[in-house]
Amino acid sequence: MTGVDVLLLALGAVAVGSAVLVVTTKHLVRAGLYLVVCLGAVAGLYLVLAAELVAWVQVLIYVGAVVVLLLFAVMLTRAPIGASDDLDRPGWPAALIGGGVGLGLAVLMVDAYRWTTVELPAAGTAERIGEQVFGSWVLPFEVLSILLLSALVGAIVLSRPDIGAARQATGDPDREPGRSR
């Protein structure tokens, strides 16, 4: 085993371990913080695989924005300190689906590649990713941009009753959204 293998395994163990903690902990906010560790470890995996730009994108978008939004939403509604014993989600369907998909994918990958060794491509620098995205992948890239743009416009229309059609759905427009901790 080379140093890279050891690093990959260690980071993978951190990612999987913190992911398990995310779904098993009874502390709501800590679950979000474990998610930070998990996504950070995945960014580390990208780094080890020489995909530098993707790793920092992962940190910027997922750690810096997505998890923060999630934590923000939890703290705006209900974020008790300590364990929440009244969480009544049944765990077994999720465990079944998650474990099944994970195991299935692992079997599929192992069976497909066996002991084939693959030469790693040149490092994923910003320049190379730019060439790829705006060269051979420019059409999917632009289609995705339009999809995101329409989602953005849709979110604005839905959240503003004065310009959208959501007036009857909100009921009493003067009602403050309930905030309880």
Partner 1 sequence: MPLWLELVIRIGGVLAAFLILPLLVGQAEHKVMAHMQGRLGPMYAGGFHGWAQLVADGVKFVQKEDITPRAADRPVFRLAPAVALVPYLLALLVIPLGPNDLVGQPLDVGLFFVLAVVGVGVLAVLMSAWASANKYSLLGGLRGAAQLLAYELPLVLAAASVAMAAGTLSLSGIVEAWQPWWLLWQAPAMAVFFLAGLAEIRRPPFDMPVADSELVFGYLTEYSGLRFAFLLLAEYVGIVVIAALTTVLFLGGWQGPFADEQLGWLWTLLKVAAVSFVIIWLRVSYPRLREDQLQRLCWLVLVPTALAQLILTATIRLAL
Question: Are the CB atoms for 93 and 23 separated by under 8 Å?
Answer: no
Amino acid at 45: L
Position 27 contacts partner 1 (CB under 8 A): yes
Position 36 contacts partner 1 (CB under 8 A): yes
Residue selected from 76, 97, 101, 108 as contacting partner 1 according to rule CB under 8 A: 76
174-179, long-range: CB < 8 A, 24+ apart = 179/76, 179/77
Position 82 contacts partner 1 (CB under 8 A): yes
Position 11 contacts partner 1 (CB under 8 A): no
How would DSSP label each residue in 153-175? HHHHHHH-TTTSSTHHHHS-TTP
Closest CA to 71 of 24, 40, 31, 15: 31
Question: Are the CB atoms for 14 and 48 separated by under 8 Å?
Answer: no
Q: Which stretch binds partner 1 (CB under 8 A): 30-38, 85-93, 100-108, 132-140?
A: 30-38
Position 138 contacts partner 1 (CB under 8 A): no
Residue selected from 7, 29, 31, 166 as contacting partner 1 according to rule CB under 8 A: 29
| Binding footprint of partner 1 on the chain (CB under 8 A) | 27, 29-30, 33, 36, 52-53, 56-57, 59-60, 63-65, 67-69, 71-72, 75-76, 79, 81-82, 125-126
